[in-house]
Structure 1
Amino acid sequence: MTNLSYPLPDAVAPGNGYSHVVTGPGRWVAIAGQVALDADGNLVGDGDPAAQAQQVFTNLERCLAAAGATFADVVKFGVFVTDIAFLPVIRSVRDTRIDTANPPASTAVQVVSLFSPEALIEIEAFAVVND
């Protein structure tokens, strides 16, 4: 696990479920946006944001592991959704995998479409790990 710190910026309203700033020493890991595709490339959870969120975080976990990282090393998520109303479901799934007392920085953006009309959620992650 990386020795991350979560400095609180002056005169910035507290984040709701995310940190504004996360820093730490180590090796940078960038995980491309993950969608709800299984190992065979099939979409999981057609029309179901909860099922898609579960698959997305499973894919993120597997990608982090390939880099020698875990969710404890994540410093930032970039969340892209086709409907901002999916955020509570995504946060619910995310919160089963992160330290909610020190959550990563995060950005959420509603987009018109992802790579496929059936894909509802795409999440990228950035991590810092010790060498």
Structure 2
Amino acid sequence: MPSEIKLVNVPALGKTAGYSHLAEVRGGRTIYLSGQIAVDAQGQSVGTGDFTAQARQVFENLRLGLESVGLTFNAVVKLTVFLTDMQYLPQFRAVRDEFVNTAQPPASSLVQVAALVRPELLIEVEAIAAAP
């Protein structure tokens, strides 16, 4: 992780489950990745009915976006996650942990939503990354 990025867990805010309380970024550039859904390069849905497959595609799409500007998941300082059902939380965490630095995970928010842009979708994730 670049030295200009500091991920912090504040003891007074309690223990976290796979995320940091805050991210401090000094200097450099900030990249905002739009919410990614489980679609392939042709815009076709991936993993219909399979949350884990959808989550993996979403994180692959985020990885591709980061790569396009010369970054990796180590540059991600914030994730915002939208799930259609909280029952998917364990599977989400398992897939997320394949991609992020679990020793210093990004700050995160997670909400349950009634629906996403396509009815077959179960997850959407947007990201903010910082680079020197």
TM-score after normalising by structure 2: 0.93
User: How far is the alpha carbon of 1:67 from its aligned partner?
Assistant: 1.9
Partner residue, 2:2: 2
Correspondence 1:91 to 2:93: yes
Report the counterpart of residue 114 of structure 1 in structure 2: 116
Residue 8 of structure 1 and its aligned partner are, at CA, apart by 3.3
TM-score, reference length from structure 1:
0.94
Q: Which residues of 2 match residues 45-56 of structure 1 at below 5 A? A: 45-56=47-58
User: Which amino acid is 1:75 matched to?
Assistant: V
Question: What is the deviation of 1:108?
Answer: 0.5
Aligned amino acid, residue 116 of structure 1? R
State the one-letter code of the partner of 1:71.
Answer: F
- For structure 1, the residue ranges without an aligned partner over 5 or more in a row are none
SS of residue in 1 equivalent to 2:120? coil
Structure 2 match to 1:20: 21
Equivalent position SS for 1:106: strand
Q: Which has the higher strand share?
A: 2
Q: CA deviation at 1:89?
A: 0.9
Identity of aligned residues (%): 47
Residue 65 of structure 1 and its aligned partner are, at CA, apart by 1.0
Judging by fraction of residues, say which structure has more helix: 2
4+ long deviations beyond 6 Å: none
Whether the 8 Å CA contact 2:79–2:127 is kept in 1: the answer is yes
